[in-house]
């Protein structure tokens, strides 16, 4: 899991050949790190767009002034965008936009300000986690579905939505085991932040199963801990991972984030049965 990719330069666009190698590496390794990039929002946005449509985040108050396809994730910055939620944005395990009917293929985070210590980002590989489930559990969850909701269990890391924002974000249902559309590998597609319940089970059974799946997926052997450096760009395959910003710093920290939308059929309305 994870790959370090040197040699990108914001003075020039990424060639098709390099883009395909990066895209392939992201699929194979789930997390890719591209160090030493200048802060160039236009380059970042153009790079992100190569992976699919960039989705403007629901919290439009944090959109970057130069591009609504880029969000500012700031803490202790003393700026208007600096988050004041109980814990930092993303400081809970989640996969971006799992609370949307069309969730996210990938995320890119770029570090502009870092605390002297802490502020790492943890990533859990949900493809590895699925592979290491017992056969009995694989069988049990094979055809289950789960309901996801914005802000469900985020420990105060997500601000309340405005009425307008709320009206466009009803609960959504996704399969618990998702076949990755590109690698065709099965992935455990539930996360503590946004997954409320398993629909086919009684509430207590659903809670128990989710806790079992989360405890399994969060074992250190499935995790990569990203230690940031200024100018680093971290790409994550959201279809095959969940991530969590570590809440252990009090100095300024700021990321620029791009979210790549869903490019497979998971985003399309399902035919109702019966």
Which residue ranges make up the site for ligand SIN (CB under 6 A)? 73, 89-90, 109, 121, 243, 245, 255, 257
**Would you tell me how many other CB atoms lie within 10 Å of the CB of residue 75?**
25
**Cα distance between residue 155 and residue 56, in whole Å:** 23
We find the least distance from the C-beta atom of residue 257 to ligand SIN, in angstroms, to be: 5
Residue whose C-beta lies closest to ligand SIN: 90
Pick the closer one to ligand SIN by CB: 115 or 175.
115
Closer of 89 and 124 to ligand SIN (Cβ)? 89
Distance in Å, CB of 195 to ligand SIN, minimum: 16
Instruction: Please identify, using beta-carbon distances, which residue of 143 and 250 lies nearer to ligand SIN.
Output: 250
State in angstroms the smallest separation of the CB of 140 from ligand SIN. Answer: 29
Q: Which of 259, 271, 243 is nearest to 1 (CA)?
A: 243
Name the residue nearer to ligand SIN (CB basis): 141 or 228: 228
* CA atoms lying within 13 Å on the CB side of residue 241: 27
Nearest distance from residue 157's CB to ligand SIN, in Å? Answer: 9
Handedness of CA 233, 237, 241, 242 (dihedral sign): positive
Distances from the Cα of 33 to the Cα of 49, 77, 120, 250, angstroms: 17, 24, 13, 25
Which residue from 168, 210, 220, 158 is spatially nearest to 189, judged by alpha carbons? 210
Tell me which residue of 42, 71, 76, 48 sits closest to 58, measured CA to CA. 71
Measure the CA–CA gap between 137 and 185, rounded to whole angstroms.
17
- Compare residues 137 and 231 and give the one whose CB is closer to ligand SIN: 231
In the complex, the smallest distance separating the C-beta of residue 45 from ligand SIN, rounded to whole angstroms, is 16
**How near is the Cβ of 37 to ligand SIN at its closest, in Å?**
17
Nearer to ligand SIN, 121 or 241 (CB): 121
């Amino acid at each position: 899991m994870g790959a370090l990719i040197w040699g990108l330069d914001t003075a020039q666009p990424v060639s098709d050949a390099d883009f395909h190698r990066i895209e392939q590496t992201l699929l194979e390794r789930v997390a890719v790190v591209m160090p030493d990039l200048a802060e160039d929002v236009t380059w970042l946005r153009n790079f992100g767009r190569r992976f699919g449509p960039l989705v403007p985040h629901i919290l439009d108050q944090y959109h970057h002034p130069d591009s609504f396809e880029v969000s500012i994730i700031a803490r202790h910055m003393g700026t208007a965008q600096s988050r004041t939620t109980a814990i930092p944005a993303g400081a809970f395990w989640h996969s971006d936009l799992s609370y949307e009917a069309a969730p996210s293929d990938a995320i890119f985070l770029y570090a502009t300000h870092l605390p002297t210590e802490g502020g790492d980002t943890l990533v859990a590989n949900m493809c590895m986690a699925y592979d290491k489930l017992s056969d009995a559990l694989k069988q049990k969850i094979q055809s289950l579905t789960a309901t996801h909701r914005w802000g469900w269990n985020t420990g105060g890391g997500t601000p309340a939505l405005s009425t307008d924002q709320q009206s466009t974000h009803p609960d959504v249902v996704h399969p618990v085991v998702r076949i990755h559309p590109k690698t065709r590998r099965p992935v455990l597609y539930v996360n503590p932040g946004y997954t409320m319940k398993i629909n086919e089970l009684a509430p207590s059974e659903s809670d128990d199963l989710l806790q079992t799946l989360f405890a399994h997926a969060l074992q250190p052997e499935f995790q990569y801990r990203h230690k940031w450096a200024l100018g680093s760009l971290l790409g994550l395959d959201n279809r095959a991972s969940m991530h969590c910003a570590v809440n252990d710093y009090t100095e300024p920290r700021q990321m620029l984030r791009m979210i790549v939308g869903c490019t497979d059929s998971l985003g399309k309305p399902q035919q109702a049965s019966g």
